[in-house]
Structure 1
Amino acid sequence: MDPDFNFTDYDPDGLVSPCTFSNNNSVNHVIGPYIHSIICILGFVGNSLVIITYALYKRTKSMTDVYLLNVAIADLLFVLALPFIVYNELYSWPMGQVACKLLRGSYSVNMYSGMLMLACISTDRYIAIVQARRSVRLRSLSYSHLICTSIWVFAIVLSIPTFIFYDWYQPSHSEVFKVDLEEVKSEPPEYVCEMRFGNSDTAKKIKVALPSLQLAVGFFLPLSIMMFCYTAVIVTLMKAQTFQRHKAVKVVLVVVLVFIACHLPYNLFLLYDTVTLFHYNSCGVVDAVQTSLTVMQTLAYLHCCLNPVLYAFVGVKFRNHFWRIFGDLWCVSKKYITPRRFSRVTSDTYMSTFRRSVDASSDNGTSFTM
């Protein structure tokens, strides 16, 4: 079977009709423009605030800070690329070959790097809590920068097939010809940004290899690391007789459960779709699987909006720096709304009081910072 063909239904006369995927198309036209727009806005705002907080206020003073900053960068780049991916899936791709490869390749890089950074955060929490005696030696900024650089390079290497096989081309089924005597006229060509292969053998290998690689490195590996590390963290915290033990355990459980809830359904359907890729199924079954993949993929995208809340804003110190942004913005706005002299006195008084309270709470606040 040609792997580039969609599954078909056969009528009694032996004629072959292509699958319409009506349910999947209907869901796509709802999720694409509306749900994904919400994800893009929330993800852009949340991850931008994390980056701004680190750039102007908090700085990267620990291994966890470096990982959180890199997760925010990966998620921000992802939500910036998402509108173009949605547009390409719903319509044509007018931006050419280079933009096509950069778009799909960057999506893959950000997906791998973001998931592996989450695994690094869990490892860092494991070392800090379970291996506390060795944490000072192992949790240095130089190590964290080296690990993050290695992850980005590794993600680029894993994405090389995506850069190679995604192509900008005019599919044969989009050509509509009108024959009138000797004159042949065609509609303006529409181009797509999709995977394209030279032969069927290459197509079969790549269409199995890419999802398998995504499942192995982009989900099951981070999930295994997180389960091991956070299980050990919970056991250690339960043994500790501290005031914030139960809160810390709840935070760990929420982080793990949200990760599983967002990513497990999509990856299970992706695994099923990969295993049955070259098996014959009716149009109804394939349409149902593709519709489920679309919905579950959107749920997985939602995780990039939740990362800032789960990993950054849950910490007392980070939350104080976050509120400091709004305090500074409020002072700047009052400077232009109220008379200059009154504004300056009010702003200086407010800022001095606000910063003293922030610094005091930052010094005294302790939490299980994710």
Structure 2
Amino acid sequence: MENPQVGMMDNLSYYDTSYTDFEYEVIEPCSHQNNHSVELVVGPYIHSIICILGFVGNSLVIITYAFYKRTKSMTDVYLLNVAIADLLFVLSLPLIVYNELSSWSMGPVACKLLRGSYSMNLYSGMLLLACISTDRYIAIVQARRSFRLRSLPYSRLICTIVWASALLLSIPTFYFYTWYEPSYTEEIFLTEGEENNETSRPSQYVCQFRFMDSDTAWKTRVAVPSTQMAMGFFLPLLIMVFCYTAVIVTLLRARNFQRHKAVRVVLVVVAVFITCHLPYNMTLLYDTVNMFELQSCEASDALHVAKTVTQTIAYLHCCLNPVLYAFVGVKFRNHFRRIVQDLWCLGKRYIAPRRFSRVTSEMYVSTRRSVDGSSDNGSSFTM
């Protein structure tokens, strides 16, 4: 997940400098060369791979539910909403990465909408994963009450609450992210000759947090990452650990090969979640605790590198969600095969000679009928 706390204090280092013409302390921005080198690799290349894989995987989930499989269970509704949140996330990520590596060129409205929706999709995706673990707990551990508790109206209501909660949690991002020209320019380091050329340089705008007073800045810069860690990681993690621990205990009591195979699936789900998100949240926690501590440029650069690398690892989870939660189910994999078959039939319909068009059309219709008429009495996430 993205660290929202980007500001002037993160990029500055204080030190004493003696000048004959100046009697005050000069504050020079840190260059952060190591982090800049990492961003030049991670931004264009690694993030591009994440966006492509995340777009393909989550699009297949949405297409499956839209054309091949109805949302017949609570888990189906959760999986569809997770795919939507992850898809919106990977669509906004390239724009944010591009503008982080260069000047923000999309204006103030796009700044607020893009950053706000980015935060909202992150919150909703994480909270929905907690909902999926709760649904699995009810379906397996509380099986007697599962029919009453796992109804479609309940699932739609819960998803509405999740999206509304994500919107409320993202209000500070919508409000405080601003498109502006930063004031920490190099004017104090320019000579008289360079000052004359400064007016000809194009304005460099950024899309970052901006505050009117120091008290608001202090509170917000602590509250936003703390809320992000609490609601976007630790709360879903606690829910997942509790629910899946109870699920594993219940499954181990059943002497069934498929049940024991499902235990491994549960362990993989939890392990991937922790592996992807724990390093970044620990880095974010360290950064929040030491936010107002005076750091050297080397320490600040190392912290920025750690945040960039661990943040990228956290982004990988949006690519793995379709595999872990959707395609692990046998029925969902069958629907995926139907998609490939239908695409192949449509391709033959336009490429093959006209005398074969009726045959391929009939094949496509029969395939769709077989899919629509297939029985599906459970969730996609087969345990």
The residue number in structure 2 matching 1:369 is 382
- 1:342 Cα deviation (Å)? 2.9
Q: How does 1:1-370 map to 2 (within 5 A)?
A: 4-5=8-9, 6-10=11-15, 13=18, 16-174=27-185, 185-345=199-359, 348-349=362-363, 352=366, 369=382
Q: CA–CA distance in 1 between the matches of 2:302 and 2:127?
A: 31
Deviation larger for 18-27 or 252-261: 18-27
Distance 1:187 1:353, change over 3 A: closer
Name the SS of the counterpart of 1:31 in structure 2: helix
- 1:228 Cα deviation (Å)? 0.3
- 1:369 Cα deviation (Å)? 2.1
- 1:18 Cα deviation (Å)? 2.4
**Cα deviation code 1:331-362 (max 9, x no counterpart):** 111112222333433563587479759977x6
- 1:323 Cα deviation (Å)? 1.1
Letter in 2 for 1:258: V
Query: Is the Cα contact below 8 Å between 1:321 and 1:358 reproduced in 2?
Result: no
Q: CA–CA distance in 2 between the matches of 1:357 and 1:182?
A: 70
- 1:55 Cα deviation (Å)? 0.4
Distance 1:138 1:175, change over 3 A: same
**Cα deviation code 1:291-328 (max 9, x no counterpart):** 00100000000100000010001101111111111111
Letter in 1 for 2:258: Q
Q: CA–CA distance in 2 between the matches of 1:357 and 1:199?
A: 60
Q: CA–CA distance in 1 between the matches of 2:163 and 2:215?
A: 30
- 1:32 Cα deviation (Å)? 0.5
Query: Is the Cα contact below 8 Å between 1:165 and 1:195 reproduced in 2?
Result: yes
Letter in 1 for 2:122: M
Letter in 1 for 2:334: N
The residue number in structure 1 matching 2:3 is none
Name the SS of the counterpart of 2:103 in structure 1: coil
Distance 1:97 1:76, change over 3 A: same
What fraction of aligned residue pairs are identical, expressed as a percent? 71
Q: CA–CA distance in 1 between the matches of 2:379 and 2:63?
A: 22
Q: CA–CA distance in 1 between the matches of 2:194 and 2:26?
A: 28
Q: CA–CA distance in 2 between the matches of 1:116 and 1:279?
A: 32
Name the SS of the counterpart of 1:201 in structure 2: helix
**Cα deviation code 1:101-136 (max 9, x no counterpart):** 001100110010000000000000000000000000
Q: CA–CA distance in 1 between the matches of 2:126 and 2:317?
A: 10
Q: CA–CA distance in 2 between the matches of 1:183 and 1:350?
A: 70
- 1:173 Cα deviation (Å)? 3.1
Query: Is the Cα contact below 8 Å between 1:8 and 1:18 reproduced in 2?
Result: yes
Q: CA–CA distance in 1 between the matches of 2:359 and 2:194?
A: 84
Query: Is the Cα contact below 8 Å between 1:227 and 1:256 reproduced in 2?
Result: yes
Name the SS of the counterpart of 1:173 in structure 2: coil
The answer for unaligned runs of 5 or more in structure 1 is none
Q: CA–CA distance in 2 between the matches of 1:241 and 1:135?
A: 22
Letter in 1 for 2:85: A
Distance 1:101 1:355, change over 3 A: same
Name the SS of the counterpart of 1:244 in structure 2: helix
Query: Is the Cα contact below 8 Å between 2:13 and 2:297 reproduced in 1?
Result: yes
State TM-score, norm by structure 2. 0.89
Letter in 1 for 2:139: A
Q: CA–CA distance in 2 between the matches of 1:166 and 1:353?
A: 49
Q: CA–CA distance in 2 between the matches of 1:140 and 1:232?
A: 22
- 1:242 Cα deviation (Å)? 2.0
State TM-score, norm by structure 1. 0.92
